[in-house]
Amino acid sequence: MSNKQWESMIDSAKRWGILYTCAKCSSENVSKLNGWTKWDVLSQSWRVVLSVKDDVHWCNDCHTGVDVLIETVNIGEYEDESVT
């Protein structure tokens, strides 16, 4: 089997996925804020979502709302890192 055939087999075995990173600090520690809640003193619980925001992302390292970068990555590399 030629090197080109081996490379093709290796590439086809990779599992691809999406990685979201903070546009400010490049952290992968980002969340999506889907809505806002409000503390209700009388019921002593968080009230239902007040508004829905589809485009708000939060960086847990920057502690602020941020834009995110979307990148396609090989998930297999992440699995390899978690084993060690």
pLDDT of 31 higher than 90: no
What pLDDT score does 39 carry? 81
Q: Which residue has the higher pLDDT, 72 or 23?
A: 23
For the residues 44-68, what does the mean pLDDT come to?
80
CA 75 to chain centre: 13
User: Per-residue confidence at 74, pLDDT binned at 50, 70, 90?
Assistant: confident
19 class by beta-carbon count within 10 Å (0-12 exposed, 13-18 middle, 19+ buried): middle
Q: What is the pTM of this model?
A: 0.57
Q: How many Cα atoms are found within 13 Å in the side-chain-facing hemisphere of 76? A: 8
For the residues 39-45, what does the mean pLDDT come to?
79
Q: Are strands 30-35 and 64-66 parallel, antiparallel or unpaired?
A: unpaired
Question: No. of H helices and E strands in the chain?
Answer: 2, 7
